[in-house]
């Protein structure tokens, strides 16, 4: 993307507008629902987000097992500098790591980002949500048995209800405003709905947006995310 600058560092990749903006920082954790992700796969989204917000986007690199993945995201947060990110955002398993990061920061008394966006978030690794089966037919690429296998490897023996592995089970009091973007046909729909309800009951400002289908979510997620971050 010609209008942005790209830099590589130990915790991931940094994308900033070429026009010299980028004073604010957004930590972005890209991942899919199958618990994989890498900074380079987030570059297109990060570039568009940088141009829409004028912010520097830090794309975190994380390992493939818990709790190492959360430790990596925490390190990327600290690498954003003393001011910290003005926002954090993530997708899939990356969104779950973002939610867990907020819980960890709150519990440690560390400075919090001003707000967070979670897209098609994997927040409950017990995998008991009804939408995992009810919406499976709407997504030909979704395989619940494969997701269960990957979750077992990712959890590495951690109980699926551990609040840092599955933030849906965490105490959400004191978290910053959170935006949740998801499709009504997403197998992970119930994770976002349940997290929004728990957050609202805990006094968290929640912006839940449910798009009709995956195509609408892909088309509208970045503009919605940028507007919320700004």
Looking at residue 103, the DSSP 8-state letter turns out to be H
Residues in Cβ contact with 82 at an 8 Å cutoff, skipping those fewer than 6 apart: none
> Quick one: residue 72, left, alpha or beta (phi over 0 = left, psi -120 to 50 = alpha)?
alpha
Q: Write down the pLDDT at residue 10.
A: 76
Provide the pLDDT for residue 122: 97
What is the four-CA torsion angle of 91, 96, 97, 103, rounded to 10 degrees?
A: 130
The pLDDT assigned to 174 comes to 97
Query: Does the reported pTM lie above 0.85?
Result: yes
Please state, in angstroms and rounded to a whole number, the distance separating the CA atoms of residues 212 and 83.
37
Task: Give strand pairing partners of 12.
Answer: 9, 60
End-to-end Cα distance, the chain: 22
Does residue 4 carry a pLDDT above 70? yes
Handedness of CA 93, 97, 103, 104 (dihedral sign): positive
**pLDDT confidence of residue 120:** 96
Domains of the chain: 4-229 (3.40.50.1820)
Tokens of 143: 């395989």
Q: How far is CA 105 from CA 73, 75, 84, 150, 228, in A?
A: 11, 12, 12, 27, 21
CA angle 73, 153, 128 (to 5 degrees): 90
What pLDDT was estimated at residue 72? 95
**Residue with more model confidence, 45 or 195:** 195
Instruction: Tell me the per-residue pLDDT of 123-164, one tens digit each, with 9 for 90 and over.
Output: 999 999 999 999 999 998 899 999 999 999 999 999 999 999
pLDDT tens per residue, range 85-133: 889 999 999 999 999 999 999 999 999 999 999 999 999 999 999 999 9
Nearest to residue 46, comparing CAs of 8, 97, 101, 102?
Answer: 8
Query: What is the spatial distance between Cα 154 and Cα 27, in angstroms, rounded to a whole number?
Result: 22
């Amino acid at each position: 993307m010609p209008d942005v600058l790209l830099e590589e560092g130990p915790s991931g990749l940094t994308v900033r507008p070429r026009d010299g903006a980028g004073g604010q920082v957004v930590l972005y954790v890209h991942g899919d629902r199958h618990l994989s992700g890498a900074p380079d796969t987030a570059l297109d989204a990060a570039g568009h987000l940088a141009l829409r917000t004028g912010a520097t986007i830090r794309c975190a690199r994380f390992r493939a097992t818990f709790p190492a993945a959360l430790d990596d995201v925490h390190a990327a947060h600290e690498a954003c500098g003393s001011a910290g990110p003005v926002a954090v955002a993530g997708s899939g398993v990356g969104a779950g790591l973002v939610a867990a990061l907020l819980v960890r920061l709150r519990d440690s008394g560390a400075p919090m980002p001003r707000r967070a966006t979670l897209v098609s978030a994997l927040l409950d690794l017990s995998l008991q949500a009804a939408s995992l089966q009810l919406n499976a037919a709407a997504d030909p690429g979704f395989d619940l048995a494969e997701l269960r296998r990957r979750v077992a490897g990712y959890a590495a023996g951690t109980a699926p209800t551990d609040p840092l592995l599955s933030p849906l089970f965490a105490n959400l009091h004191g978290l910053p405003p959170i935006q949740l973007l998801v499709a009504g046909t997403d197998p992970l729909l119930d994770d976002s709905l349940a997290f929004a309800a728990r957050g609202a009951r805990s006094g968290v400002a929640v912006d839940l947006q449910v798009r009709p289908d995956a195509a609408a979510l892909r088309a509208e997620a970045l503009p919605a995310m940028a507007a919320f971050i700004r």
